[in-house]
Amino acid sequence: MLLGIAVLAGIYWIARSGGHWADSDSSFMASAIRAVVSEARLIPDEVVYPSGYGYQVISATVVAFTGIEVAALQQYVYPLLAAFVILSAWVAYRELLSSSRLATIAALLLLLVPGHLFSLLRGSHEPLDRILVFATLWLILRGIRVGWRPSNVAVYLGLALAMTYALVATNVLFGISFVGAVGAALVGSWVLQWGPPTVRPLSKEVVRHLSWFVAQSVLLIGAFILFIYPPAGFSLRQLFTVAGGAASAVVSEVPDASPYAGVLASWVSPEVYVLLSLGEYLLIGGSGLVWIWQGWRWLRGTTPLSLGSWLLWLMYAAFAAQLVVTVLSDRAGAVASNLQYRTFTVYAAIAAAVLAQGLAQLRAVQWRRATVRFAVALFAVAALLKATNEPILSNEWTFYTRAEFAGMEWTDRWQRSSISWVGPRTRLANAYALEAGRPQWFNRWAFGEPAPDVRAYLISDAIRLHSARLGVPVPAVGPHNLVYDSGAVQVYRTRAQGAFER
Amino acid sequence: MSGSRRAVGTGRQRVDLLDGPVDQRSTGLSDIALKYQPDPLVLVAIASIAAALIAVGELPMIIRVPAGLVGAFVLPGYALGVALLPASSLDLAERCLLSGSLSIAVIIVAAPFLDVAGFGIRPGPVVTLLTGITIVAAAVGYWRRSGSGSVAREADVPSIYATASDDTSTRPNGRRILTWLLAAVLTAGSLSILLSSPVEPSTEFFVLGSEGLAESYPKEATAGEPVTVTVGITNGEGETLSYRVAAYSGSARVSSSESMSIESGRTWTGRLDLTMSSPGLDQEVRIDLFTGGAKEPYRTLRLWIDVLESRQG
Q: Which of A352, A387, A422 delimits the end of a domain? A: A387
Residues of B in contact with A137 (CB under 8 A): none
Identify which of B64, B200, B202, B203 has the alpha carbon closest to the alpha carbon of residue A18. B200
- Let me know whether A312 and A448 are in one domain: no
User: How confident is the model over A456-469, as pLDDT tens digits?
Assistant: 999 999 999 999 99
Q: What mean pLDDT is predicted for residues A334-357?
A: 86
Q: Is the dihedral of CA A39, A43, A46, A47 positive or negative?
A: positive
- Pick the range with the lowest mean pLDDT from A187-201, A317-331, B84-98, B273-287: B84-98
SS (H, E, C) B187-214: HHHHHHHHHHCCCCCEEEEEEECCCCCC
Write the residue in B69, B157, B195 that is nearest to A145 by C-beta.
Answer: B157
Check whether residue A170 and residue A202 sit in a common domain: yes
Please determine, for residue B293, whether its predicted confidence score (pLDDT) is greater than 90: no
Q: Are residues A323 and A426 in the same domain?
A: no
CA–CA gap between residue A309 and residue A314 (Å, rounded): 9
**How much is the mean pLDDT over chain B?**
78
- Smallest CA–CA distance, residue A266 to chain B, in Å, is 28
Chain-chain contact of A414 with B126 (C-beta, under 8 angstroms): no
Which uninterrupted H or E stretch holds A355? helix A339-359
Are B168 and A98 a contacting pair at CB < 8 A?
A: yes
Q: Cβ atoms within 10 A of the Cβ of A498, count?
A: 6
How close B36 gets to chain A, by Cα (Å)?
A: 31
β-pairing, B299-308 vs B241-249, is unpaired
Q: Chain B: give the shortest CA distance to residue A55, in Å.
A: 9
B121:A485 CB<8 A: no
User: How does pLDDT run across B109-158, given as a tens digit for each residue?
Assistant: 999 999 999 999 999 899 899 999 998 988 888 888 776 544 444 444 44
Q: What is the pLDDT of residues A27-41, one digit of tens each?
A: 999 999 999 999 999
List C-alpha distances in Å: A421 to A446, B159, B205.
Answer: 4, 65, 20
Chain A residues with beta carbon closer than 8 angstroms to that of B108: 53-54, 57-58, 165-166, 169-170
What pLDDT score was predicted for residue B48?
79
Q: What H or E segment, with its residue span, contains residue A458?
A: strand A456-460
At residue B174, the pLDDT reads 61
Please report the DSSP string for B71-84 in residue order: HHHTHHHHHHHHHH
Encode A480-500 in three state secondary structure.
CEEEEECCCEEEEECCCCCCC
Tens of pLDDT along B218-272?
999 999 999 999 999 999 999 999 999 999 999 899 999 999 999 999 999 999 9
Q: Which domain holds residue A430?
A: 402-493
What is the predicted pLDDT for the residue at B28? Answer: 46
What is the band of B38 on the pLDDT scale with cuts at 50, 70, 90? low
Do residue A88 and residue B101 have CB atoms under 8 angstroms apart? yes
A409-450 pLDDT, tens digit each: 999 999 999 999 999 999 999 999 999 999 999 999 999 999
CB contact under 8 A, B200 and A402: yes
Alpha-carbon distance of A213 to A218, in angstroms, equals: 9
- Note whether residue A245 is domain-resident: yes
pLDDT at B154: 47
Domain check: are A276 and A195 in the same one? yes
Same-domain status, A444 and A306: no
Q: Which residues of B touch A496 (CB under 8 A)?
A: 215-217, 219
Degrees, nearest 5: CA angle A275-A280-A281: 75
Asked if A369 and A442 sit in the same domain, the reply is no
A193 shares its domain with A97? yes
Q: Contact at 8 Å (CB) between B70 and B45?
A: no
Boundary (domain end) residue, out of A339, A364, A387: A387
Which residue of A1, A483, A491, A495 to mutate against B (max B Cβ within 10 Å)? A483
Q: Which of A339-343, A428-432, B72-76, B149-153 has the lowest mean pLDDT?
A: B149-153
Contact A483 B207 (CB under 8 A): yes
Q: B2 pLDDT exceeds 60?
A: no
Which chain B residues touch A48 with a CB distance below 8 Å? none
Are the C-beta atoms of A480 and A468 separated by less than 8 Å? no
**A448 shares a domain with A342:** no
3-state SS, residue A394: strand
Is residue A24 domain-resident? no
Same domain, A177 and A311: yes
Tell me whether residue A72 is in a domain. Answer: no
Q: What average pLDDT is seen over chain A?
A: 91
Residue A183 lies in a domain: yes
For chain A, helix, strand, coil in percent to 5 are 70, 5, 25
Q: Based on the domain organization, do A448 and A381 belong to the same domain?
A: no
Whether the CB of A493 is below 8 Å from some CB of chain B: the reply is yes
For residues B231 and A342, the model is more confident at B231
Strand pairing report for A489-493 and A456-460: antiparallel
pLDDT digit string, tens, across residues B182-195: 666 666 666 666 66
Q: What's the CA gap between A255 and A81, in Å, rounded?
A: 40
Number of compact structural domains in chain A: 2
Q: Are residues A420 and A286 in the same domain?
A: no
Beta bridge partners of B275: B226
pLDDT for B126: 92
Q: What is the pLDDT of residue B63?
A: 80
Chain B hits for A455, CB-CB cut-off 8 Å, are 215
Longest dimension (CA), chain B: 112
Strand partners, B300: B288
Instruction: Please identify, among A361, A387, A413, the residue that sits at the C-terminal boundary of a domain.
Output: A387
Who wins on pLDDT, A302 or A412?
A412
The pLDDT tens digits for A46-62 are 999 999 999 999 999 99
Restricting to A residues 275-304, those with a Cβ less than 8 Å away from any Cβ of B are none
Confidence bin at A254 (pLDDT 50/70/90)? low
Residue A390 has pLDDT above 80, yes or no: yes
Please check whether residue A123 lies inside any domain of the structure: yes
Residue A66 domain flag: no
- Sort out which chain B residues have CB atoms less than 8 A from A4's CB and list them: 179, 182-183, 186
A28 inside domain:
no
Indicate whether A250 pLDDT > 60.
yes
Do A326 and A447 share a domain, yes or no?
no
Contact A64 B190 (CB under 8 A): no
In the prediction, which pLDDT does B70 show?
87
Q: Looking at this predicted complex, what is its ipTM?
A: 0.92
| Per-residue pLDDT band at B18 (split at 50, 70, 90) | very low
The 10s digit of each residue's pLDDT in A269-290 is: 999 999 999 999 999 999 999 9
CB proximity under 8 Å: B 143-202 to A = 154-155, 157, 159-168, 170, 179-180, 182-183, 186-187, 190-191, 194-195, 197, 199-200, 202
What amino acid is encoded at B206 in this protein?
Answer: F
Give me the pLDDT at residue B146, please. 76
- Residue A498's pLDDT is 74
Instruction: Let me know if residue A60 belongs to a domain.
Output: no
B105: distance to nearest CA of chain A, Å? 5
Q: Which residues in chain B have Cβ-Cβ distances shorter than 8 Å to A60?
A: 121, 126
pLDDT at B176: 64
Q: Name the residue in chain A with its Cα closest to that of B230.
A: A483
